[in-house]
Amino acid sequence: MSLLEVLSELRAAHSAQIAAWRHFPERPARRAPTPETLHPALKDGLRRRGIPALYTHQAEAVASALHGEHVCVVTPTASGKTMCYNLPTLQALLNDPAARALYIFPTKALAQDQVTELGRWQTTLNAPVAAATYDGDTPASARARVRKSARVIVTNPDMLHTGILPHHTRWAELFEGLRVVVLDEMHTYRGVFGSHVANVLRRLRRIAAWYGAQPQFILSSATIANPTDLATRLVEAPVTVVNDDGAPRGERHFILVNPPIVDYKLGIRRSVAAEATTLARHCLAGDVQTAVFAGSRLSAEVILHNLQNAAQTPVRGYRSGYLPQERRATEAGLRDGSVRGVVSTNALELGVDIGGLDAVIIAGYPGTIASTWQQAGRAGRRGSLAAAMLVARGMPLDQYLVAHPEYILGTADGAIPSPEHALVNPDNALILTDHIRCAAFELPFAVDEAFGASVPHPQPLSHFGRGEEEALRPPIPPAQNGRGEPEKDSSSPPLPVWERGQGGEGHVRRQLTQDILEFLASEGEVYRSGAQWHWLADAYPAEGVSLRTAGADRVVILNDAASPRTIGEVDRSSAPGMVHAGAIYLHDGAMYEVERLEWEAGRAFVRPVSVDYYTDAMGSVDVEIVAEAERRVVPGGVIAHGEVEVTAKTTGYRQVRFSTGETLGWGEVDLPAQTMLTTAYWLQLDEATINQFRQEGWWRFDPNDYGPTWAAQRDKARARDGYRCRACGAPERTGRGHDVHHLQPFRTFCYARGHNRHDLVANRLENLVTLCPSCHRRAEERQVVRGALSGLAHVMGNLAPLYLMCDPRDLGVLSEVKAVGTGLPTLTIYEGIPAGLGFAAALYERHARLMADAYDLIAACACPQGCPGCIGPTTEADPQAKAWALRLVSALMGEPA
Amino acid sequence: MSSEPMSMRDRLERLRGLGIRRGAEVFSGAPAQTPSAPRSVRRHQDISDVVAGADIETPHGACFAAETRYAEHGGLPVGMPLPLAALLPRLLRDEALGRVDLRRAVFLDVETTGLSGGTGTFAFLVGIGTFEGDAFCVRQFFMRDPGAEPALLHALAEATAGYEAVVTFNGRSFDMPLLTTRFRLQRRRIPLADAPHLDLLLPARRLWRARLGSCALGSLERGILGVERVDDVPGMIIPYLYFDYVRTGRVERLERVFYHNALDIVTMAALLARMSAILDDPDGGGVIHGADWLSLGIVYEAVGDETLAGQAYQRAMATALPPELHEQAKERYGALCKRQGAWDEAVAGWAAAVQAGTTRRLYPYVELAKFYEHRRRDYPAAMDVVRQALVLVETSDVRDGSLSRAATLDALRHRLARLERKSAGAPS
C-alpha cells in the first residue's frame, strides 16, 4: 500500500479526530550562481562534488559571510545549512595558513557528523583543513595533537567553558588564528542555557581579542520568531539573517490529530500513546516506514510495546539509554530501509543521520514549534510523498495548538510565522557574576573594562503573523574585506562590543562590571592591584558553574544505586518543588522517583521508575513587589512587571496522570520556605471592573457565616470520616484538624442570619466532607471568584511557553482574590529562576495577545464546565466557572458585558 | 527593566539578596579573612622585614629577591655537583640529558596560588638553585602583589639567562607548564623552553618507591637524606598564607614559605647527588640500603641490562630486607630468569617459596604450576601446586594480582580441571 492510500484510509476512518490537515505541494529547488567572491578551489570543489549551483539561501549566506558580515541562517531541517558555514570557513583557511575556526554544536552526535563532512572537503580540496572534535570523549593522549594540528576545532559550549577558555594559553594557535566561529542550532541557546552560552561567547571574544583576533560568527537556527534578536544577543554585533529557503521540498501532508474525548464531563481524552499506536499501526500495515516520537522515555516504551505486540513488521526502540551499537544498527537499518518502524524520544531529533522516512508521528506536542518541525522534518525524501502527524494531549497548550493549527502549519498564504521567541538574559545577575568570575580567572580585568555589550533594544515580541523586527537590523558596515580577513584600519567598527568610552551605555556596562568585581573582591576571589583585577583564589571557577542552571547553590541528584552517580542538578530554589521525596524527576527521557532529599547536604537520591504520572508540587506562595519597572493601564485594570521577592513553601504534591492530567494521589512535603528575588509580571483588576462584576451578580467574596450549628456539624463530619481526608486519605496531624467542605457551596443556600435557617439544610452531614488543607484548597479554588481568576491563571501559565520557548516549570503562577497591600484581585506570573531571564517583561509586552489567546483557548474548548485542557481540572465543577472565566477575560480585553 | 545605574551598594545588596555566596575556603591554620575593605589595612611590615633580601629593579617595576647559599644538606655536601649518572639519560630515554653540565643547570621550584591549573593560577614565589663557586646558591623571586608578575618574570628570565638545563621535581607536569602559561600571558617566551629538562620525580620513583612507598619530595627528604625540617609549612596551606598576606599585609608566616621553597630546591640537589652515587658507583658507597639493590635491579631492567639486573636482585636478596621487599626481589628475579630461559634458577626460587609456605603471594604457585604443566608436562606435580594454591587462597586473603577472591579461585579451579583432563588423557 502506498502512503497516499494509507492517508486516504486514515482520512476516512478517523475524520472525527483530525483537527487540521494541510497539504504542502512539492517545491522545486531555487538555485543561484555561486558567489563571485568564492575561492576558485572551492568553486572547483563544488563542481567535483557534483554540486553545480547553490540554493538561494546558501548563495546569499556565503556571499554575506565572504563580505565579512556575521550571518545567521534560519531555514528548516535538511536545507543544506552546513554548506552556508563550511564554504566561508574553508575559504578563510585556504587564504591564510594560520587561520583557525571553532565550531560549536549543542550535542556530540552533531559534532561528529561535521568532522566527517569537513574530512570530505579535505579530500576534495587536498589542502590542510583538518578538523577534529574536542570534547569530553577526546582521549587525553589525543588532545595535544588536536590543539596543534586541527584547523577546525569542533566542540560544545560546556567544553569551551570548562576545558578550553580557562586554558587558553595552550590554545594560543587557535585564538591567534581564530577567523570564524560557527554556532549551530542557535535556537537551543535560550533560557538559562542560552544566557550562559551568551556569556561563554563574551569570554571567547575577550580572549580572542587578547590574542588579536576578532572572529566572524556564522550561526544557524531552526525557525523562531526572533532570530535577529537572539543572534544579536549572542554575537553582540549586527547580524545578517538569511531565511529565504531555496532548498527543494518533497510533497508533504501535515495532520493534527486530537484524540477523542472519552469522559465528556471531566474532559478526559483518549491517551496520546493509544492514539499514536493506532496511527503507527495503520502506517506499518501499509509498509510505510514510520518514526514515532514520544515525549518521555516511558511513553516511548508503552508505544513500542503496543506496536511490537500488534505489528507484523519489526519495530525498534531508540533512546539515550540504549547501547551505542544498538543505536548505530537502528540508524543503519532506517537508512537502508530494513527497519520499517522506530519509536524514539527526542534523541533522534537532532543531527543523527537516518535518511528520510515516509511518515513521522509525534505523540504529544514536544514543547516547542521548532522541535515539532525538526521531528516532522525526519519524514521526506526528494521526489516522494511524506506525512507528519502531531497527536495532541489533553493539556491546554496541545489543545490550543490543535484549535489554532496556523501556529504550526502556517497561514493560508503558506507562510509559517513562528510565535516562538527564544529569550536570553546574559545580564542576569547570577549568571553574569559567575561568568565574570570565570573571565577574571582567564585574564585579569582592567579597572575600566566592561564585560560584554548591551544590546540596546528590549527583546521585542513581534505579533503573530508579522515578520522579524526590522528595526533591530541596523545597517551593516563591512567589518572585514571579501577574503575573510579582518580589515586592519576600519575606522568605525560595527557595534562597540568592548566599549570603554565615557558616558552612555558603555558607562553603565563598565559600572556594572566593576561593581561585580568589587563584590567579588569583598568575597575574597579577586584582588585589585594597580589598574587590574587579578583572580586570587585557590579555585577553578568554571568547574563550579554549570551552564544548565542558574546560581551556585545547587542540589545534586544522585541515582541511588550501589554506587551513587550524579545524574543532574537543580537550583536550590527549585529543589523543594522538583526533587522533594516522592517527586517524579524526568531526566534525559528517563523517569526517576526521588527517594529522599537531604536538604542541608544538598543531595537528592533517586531511583529509576516506570510510572505513568508526574508530580506537581503544591504549597503556598507569597509574592512581594520589590521594585516596579513599568506599569500601564489596560482594560479592566493595570499591568506591571518588575522585581519581586517570592517566598514559596512546598507543603505537598499531587500525582498527575501524563495522558489525561487527572489527579491520581497526594503526598505531603516538609521543607523550609524558600525566598528568591526574581522578576514577575502581574495584572491587577481595578475597582470599577470589580464593581461591574458585582453588578453582574457573580462576583461575591465575603466570608461566610455558616450559622450557629456549624462547629458541631463540622466535628460530626470529621468523626464520621475517621479524621481522614476523603479525597486523599491523609490522616489529621496533631494540632491541625482537617477542614470540612460543603459539597454544594454554602452560599447557594442563601442563608441569612436572623431571617431563615437555610444553614441547617446546607450543613446537613450529607453535604459535608472532610478534606485536608491541600485538597481543600483545590476544592475551594473551583469556587466562583477563585475559579475564574485561577482558571485564567492556569490558562496563561500554560500558554506562556508558546511565546517564550520555556518549560512550563520555568514559570510560577499565583492568583490572589485580595492581594496583600492593595486588597485587589491580582494575577501574577513570576520566573522560577533567580533574577529572571526576561520572561516577565516579555509577557508584559504581550499582555493583549495573551488575553486574546486565553479567550480563544477557553472559548474553543468543547468541555461544558472547564477541564484539564482549559481552565484546569474540575472534579466538582462550579457549573459557571468556565463562563465566568470567559467573562473575566473578555473584560480584560475591553469588551463590555 | 530600568537602565538607571544602580548604586554600588544597591548592587551588592542585590547580589547578596540573590544568594550569591562566595569566598575562598579558609583553612583552619590561617586567620579568618576580613572581607570588608581589605585594602584599607595599612601594611606595617614589608617582606624584607622577615626575609633577608633586596629589590631588583626591572623595566616593569621592582621584584623582591632573596639569596641563600648552602654547602651541605642533611650531612651531604651540596656545594659541588657530581657528574650526572650515565644511566639517567638512558633511564629517562632523553639523550639530551647526557650533555648536561650541572654547573650550567638551574634547579627550579615554584610556590603557587593553587594546584588547579589554568590561567588563573600563578606562581608568587619562584626559587632557582645553581652551583656557584663552592656553594649551592638558591635565589628566590617574590611578588609583593599579583600586579608584580611582569617584574618577577623579567627578573627570573634575567637570572636564568646563560644556563642550559633545568632540573625540577614534578616540573614536567606542574612547574614548567605553569611558567609557560605565565610567560605567555606576559607575551614572552619562557626561558629554557627547549633546554634539556631533568624531572627527578621519575627516577626517584624508580629508585625509592620500593623502599619508601611515597615519593613525595618531603618523604624522600626524610627517608633518603634524613633531614627533618624545622617548623615547615604544609604545601597545602601555602596559597592561603599568600592570600592572607596580600589582603592584610601580614608577612610573618611568609618567612616559612621562603624556607619551604629553598629547602625543596636544596633537597633536589642533594637527591640528585644520591641518585648519581647509586647509579654510577653502587659499590663505592652509593648503595646505603639493601633496598637500593632491588631498585637498581629495576633500573637495570628498565634500561635493558639484564645481567646487571640479575646480579642486583641477587645482592638484594642477600641482604636483610623487610619481607615484602624480599618477596619483591625474588619475584622479579624469578621473572627475569624465566625470561632469560634460566628455568632451573627460576624454578628453584618458586619452589623454595612454595615449599617454605611463608609467601603471601600467589605468583610462585602459578608460575610453578605453569612450569610443570607446559614445560615438564608433569600434570600431577602441577595439580599438587594448584591444590596448595587453592588452600592458600581459601584460608587467607591472598589473591592473584588485582583479581577478586572469587575470580582467583575460579582461575585456579579452571586450571585444575584442565590439568585433570590432561592427566586423565595422558599415558600414565
Which range is least confidently modeled, A385-389, A786-790, A839-843? A786-790
In Å, how far from its chain's centre is CA A144? 37
Contacts of A539 in chain B (CB under 8 A): 24, 114, 116
Closest chain A residue to the Cα of B32, Cα to Cα: A524
Query: Residue B82 and residue A607: Cα distance in Å, rounded?
Result: 64
pLDDT by residue (tens digit) across A597-639? 988 888 889 998 888 888 888 777 888 888 888 999 999 999 9
Grid cell for residue A714:
463540622
Cβ contact, residue pair B120, A538, below 8 Å: no
| Max avg pLDDT among A163-167, A595-599, A625-629, A766-770 | A163-167
B210 vs A180: which has the higher pLDDT: A180
* Interchain CB contact of B239 with A (< 8 Å): yes
* Mean pLDDT value across chain B: 85
Inform me whether the pLDDT recorded for A490 exceeds 60: no
pLDDT by residue (tens digit) across B26-56? 333 333 344 444 444 445 589 999 999 999 9
Q: Min CA distance, B391 vs chain A (Å)?
A: 32
Instruction: Return the pLDDT at B223.
Output: 87
Cβ contact, residue pair A527, B246, below 8 Å: yes
Inform me whether the pLDDT recorded for B230 exceeds 50: yes
A172: nearest CB among B184, B239, B243: B184
* Interchain CB contact of B146 with A (< 8 Å): yes
* Interchain CB contact of B68 with A (< 8 Å): no
A423 vs A297: which has the higher pLDDT: A423
Cβ contact, residue pair A443, B185, below 8 Å: yes
Closest chain B residue to the Cα of A842, Cα to Cα: B1
* Mean pLDDT value across chain A: 83
Cβ contact, residue pair B247, A524, below 8 Å: yes
Contact (CB, 8 A) for A590 and A345 = no
B1: nearest CB among A433, A540, A841: A841
pLDDT by residue (tens digit) across A492-550? 333 333 333 334 567 888 988 999 999 999 888 999 999 999 999 999 999 888 887 77
Contact (CB, 8 A) for A740 and A717 = yes
* Interchain CB contact of A550 with B (< 8 Å): no
Please report the DSSP string for A113-174 in residue order: HHHHHHHHHHHHHTSS--EEE-STTS-HHHHHHHHHH-SEEEE-HHHIIIIIGGGGGGGHHH
Closest chain B residue to the Cα of A626, Cα to Cα: B14
Cβ contact, residue pair A537, B146, below 8 Å: no
CB atoms within 10 A of CB A642: 21
Q: Min CA distance, B315 vs chain A (Å)?
A: 39
Grid cell for residue B224:
633518603
Residue B166, beta-bridge partner list: B106, B197
Grid cell for residue A40:
576558485
Mean pLDDT of all residues in B229-252: 91
The one-letter amino acid at A708: P
B22: nearest CB among A525, A573, A841: A525
Cβ contact, residue pair B12, A525, below 8 Å: no
Q: How many residues does chain B have?
A: 428
Cell 566561508 locates to: A88
Q: Which of residues 85-144 of B touch A (CB under 8 A)?
A: 113-121
Cβ contact, residue pair B15, A629, below 8 Å: no
Instruction: Return the pLDDT at A471.
Output: 32
Mean pLDDT of all residues in A808-829: 84
Instruction: Find all residues with CB under 8 Å of A168, minimum gap 6, and list them.
Output: A175, A207, A211, A442, B119
Cell 547578596 locates to: B16
Q: Min CA distance, B159 vs chain A (Å)?
A: 24
pLDDT by residue (tens digit) across A137-152? 888 888 989 998 899 9
Instruction: Return the pLDDT at B127.
Output: 98
Please report the DSSP string for A593-619 in residue order: EEEEEETTTTEEEEEE---SEEEEEEE
Contacts of B27 in chain A (CB under 8 A): none
Query: Residue A568 and residue A559: Cα distance in Å, rounded?
Result: 9
pLDDT by residue (tens digit) across A213-244? 999 999 999 888 889 999 999 999 999 999 98
Report helix angle B254-280 to B290-303, nearest 10. 70
Query: Residue B312 and residue B293: Cα distance in Å, rounded?
Result: 5
Q: Min CA distance, A493 vs chain B (Å)?
A: 24
pLDDT by residue (tens digit) across A637-686? 999 999 898 888 887 887 877 666 666 777 888 888 878 888 999 999 99
Query: Residue A736 and residue B102: Cα distance in Å, rounded?
Result: 84
Judging by DSSP bridges, how do beta strands A637-657 and A613-634 pair with one another?
A: antiparallel
Confidence band of A837 (pLDDT split at 50, 70, 90): confident
Cβ contact, residue pair A540, B116, below 8 Å: yes
Confidence band of B199 (pLDDT split at 50, 70, 90): very high
Contact (CB, 8 A) for A117 and A105 = no
Contacts of A536 in chain B (CB under 8 A): 113, 146, 243, 246
Instruction: Return the pLDDT at A432.
Output: 93
- C-beta pairs of A130-136 under 8 Å, 24+ apart in sequence: A131/A103, A133/A108, A134/A159, A134/A163, A134/A164, A135/A108, A135/A111, A135/A159, A136/A108
- C-beta pairs of B277-283 under 8 Å, 24+ apart in sequence: B277/B82, B278/B85, B278/B207, B279/B85, B279/B86, B279/B87, B279/B88, B280/B82, B280/B83, B280/B85, B280/B86, B280/B87, B282/B312
Contact (CB, 8 A) for B220 and B208 = yes
A462 vs B313: which has the higher pLDDT: B313
- Mutation target among A517, A536, A631, A843 for the B interface, most CBs of B within 10 A: A536
Inform me whether the pLDDT recorded for A779 exceeds 90: no
Instruction: Return the pLDDT at A786.
Output: 61
Contacts of A530 in chain B (CB under 8 A): 147
Query: Residue A840 and residue A461: Cα distance in Å, rounded?
Result: 12
Cβ contact, residue pair A573, B146, below 8 Å: no
Instruction: Return the pLDDT at B196.
Output: 96
In Å, how far from its chain's centre is CA A769? 41
Confidence band of A45 (pLDDT split at 50, 70, 90): very high
Residue A676, beta-bridge partner list: A646
Residue A607, beta-bridge partner list: A593
* Interchain CB contact of A532 with B (< 8 Å): yes
Please report the DSSP string for A345-378 in residue order: -GGGTSS-----BSEEEEES--SSHHHHHHHHTT
Inform me whether the pLDDT recorded for A794 exceeds 90: no
pLDDT by residue (tens digit) across B73-84? 878 888 888 888
Contacts of A541 in chain B (CB under 8 A): 120
A429: nearest CB among B3, B14, B147: B14
Strands (E), A492-612: 526-529, 532-535, 554-559, 565-571, 584-587, 590-598, 603-608
Q: Which of residues 195-224 of B touch A (CB under 8 A)?
A: none
ipTM: 0.82
Nearest to A147 by CA among A118, A169, A126, A117: A169
Nearest to A221 by CA among A245, A253, A248: A245
B18: nearest CB among A169, A523, A677: A677
Q: Which helix (H) or strand (E) holds A277?
A: helix A272-285
Instruction: Return the pLDDT at B343.
Output: 87
Contacts of A166 in chain B (CB under 8 A): 118-120
Q: Min CA distance, B62 vs chain A (Å)?
A: 14
* Interchain CB contact of B8 with A (< 8 Å): yes
Closest chain A residue to the Cα of B143, Cα to Cα: A529
Instruction: Return the pLDDT at B9.
Output: 54
Cell 576545558 locates to: A163
Instruction: Write b or e for each residue in A329-352: b if 16 or more Cβ atoms lie within 10 A of its Cβ, otherwise e.
Output: ebbebbeeeebbbbbbbbbbbbbb
CA distances, A556 to each of A590, A652, A670 (Å): 17, 21, 19
CB hemisphere CA count around B207 (13 angstroms): 26
Helix (H, G, I), strand (E, B) or coil at A402: helix
Residue A360, beta-bridge partner list: A291, A388
Cβ contact, residue pair B23, A629, below 8 Å: no
Cβ contact, residue pair A551, B19, below 8 Å: yes
Cell 635491579 locates to: B297
CA distances, B117 to each of A632, B110, B180 (Å): 53, 13, 12
Query: Residue B65 and residue B142: Cα distance in Å, rounded?
Result: 6
Instruction: Write b or e for each residue in A719-728: b if 16 or more Cβ atoms lie within 10 A of its Cβ, otherwise e.
Output: eebeebbbbb
Closest chain A residue to the Cα of B12, Cα to Cα: A519
Grid cell for residue A401:
495548538
A169: nearest CB among B12, B115, B181: B181
Helix (H, G, I), strand (E, B) or coil at A185: coil
Instruction: Return the pLDDT at A785.
Output: 57
pLDDT by residue (tens digit) across A258-304? 998 877 666 678 888 889 999 999 999 889 999 999 987 778 888 88
Instruction: Return the pLDDT at A416.
Output: 64
Mean pLDDT of all residues in B263-276: 93
Closest chain A residue to the Cα of B9, Cα to Cα: A515
Query: Residue A851 and residue A854: Cα distance in Å, rounded?
Result: 5
Q: Which of residues 316-335 of B touch A (CB under 8 A)?
A: none
* Interchain CB contact of A405 with B (< 8 Å): no
CB hemisphere CA count around A42 (13 angstroms): 26
pLDDT by residue (tens digit) across A64-121? 999 999 999 998 877 889 999 999 999 999 999 999 999 999 877 778 888 889 999 9
Inform me whether the pLDDT recorded for A879 exceeds 70: no
Cβ contact, residue pair B15, A512, below 8 Å: no
Q: Min CA distance, B280 vs chain A (Å)?
A: 34
- Mutation target among B7, B14, B21, B22 for the A interface, most CBs of A within 10 A: B22
Nearest to B338 by CA among B353, B348, B328: B348
Grid cell for residue B54:
633586596
pLDDT by residue (tens digit) across A373-419? 888 988 887 778 999 999 998 888 888 889 888 888 886 665 666 78
Cβ contact, residue pair A524, B147, below 8 Å: no
CB hemisphere CA count around B349 (13 angstroms): 24
